Amino acid sequence: MIQYGLPILYVIFLWWFSTGAIIYLDGLPQRTYRWSMLGASVLAGIALYALALTAHQETLFGAYVAFTGAIILWGWVEMSFLMGMITGSRRSRCPEGALGWRRFIYAVQAILYHEFALIIAALAIVLVTWGGANMVGLYTFLILWVMRTSTKLNVFLGVRNLNEEWLPDHLRYLESYFRKKPMNLLFPISVTASTIVAVLIVQTAMDPSATTHQVAGATFLAILMILAILEHWFLVLPLPSQALWNWALRSRQPDEAHFRPIYPTIKAANDPDKNSPSPGLTVSPSRLRY
């Protein structure tokens, strides 16, 4: 079972930690964004190089490297969007009264450059792995892309939990393109189709004739798909999904909350009407809802 257990744990950890890291960096002051993107760009370059090196390696190591490389590239695109560097041609709220296809076109314009960035990243993976047998990286990126597109469409059409508190201040205008509803007609189709795909991938991973590379790669993809399905359910069920990344959201507290030493007061022993200073530290409450 270790051949399944380790890949499962690795995917869950990488999904949880990478998501939290991006949320944390995005919550820091905007003056730090250029350094965050510089570091992410270096990692993205290394990831592409690693994908090229392992394109022909049908090994356990090759599967791990390809999966990790695709996650890093995906993270770069997500960071560039959340930090407001690659978003869309429309950087304003949806016009009042916009409905139907007009509203849809406005929403596409708001994320258009981001979608182009995803296309370029996918093509880059295809280019560096062209002709190779190790397709784990490409399949990983495609699953992330398809499932995120499904999430965007569901949020546009209407879901219960919009998670708008995750948006940084400079992207708050995107809230106007969301719709709050118990559910929409696309949601059951999205979940059903993705569940069928997940089952098929699980069957591939459990094939007795599968090689070590195939088992690891299929397990990565299956768990990633299952996590994406779980994220879809987070959109409509009353589940505290935000609690998974509370540690990352703490970066969105005011700067002085981290460093400002102040002195709480206690009643003086001889005069109940006076306060006596006592050294200590306090942290002001976060701006975010927990």
pLDDT digits (tens, 9 = 90+) for 38-76: 999 999 999 999 999 999 999 999 999 999 999 999 999
Tokens of 155: 């949020």
- List pLDDT tens digits, range 154-213: 999 999 998 887 888 899 999 999 999 999 999 999 999 999 999 999 999 999 999 999
Tokens of 176: 């106007």
3-state helix, strand, coil in the chain (%, to 5): 65, 5, 30
Residue type, 94: C
Cα–Cα distance, 122 to 74 (Å, whole number): 9
Beta bridge partners, 123, equal none
Residue type, 283: V
- List pLDDT tens digits, range 112-166: 999 999 999 999 999 999 999 999 999 999 999 999 999 999 999 999 998 887 8
- How many CA atoms lie within 13 Å of 185's alpha carbon, on the beta-carbon side? 0
Phi and psi of 277, rounded to 5°?
-70, 145
- Nearest CA-CA partner of 107 in 51, 49, 154: 154
Cα–Cα distance, 112 to 102 (Å, whole number): 15
**Percent above pLDDT 90 for the chain:** 77
**Percent above pLDDT 70 for the chain:** 87
Return the number of other C-beta atoms located less than 10 Å from residue 129's C-beta: 23
* Sign of CA pseudo-dihedral 260, 266, 269, 273: positive
253 falls in which pLDDT band (50, 70, 90)?
Answer: low
Return the number of other C-beta atoms located less than 10 Å from residue 39's C-beta: 12
Cα–Cα distance, 274 to 94 (Å, whole number): 55
Is the distance from CB of 111 to CB of 81 less than 8 angstroms?
A: yes
pLDDT at 58: 96
Return the number of other C-beta atoms located less than 10 Å from residue 204's C-beta: 16
- Domains of the chain, residue spans: 2-252, 255-290
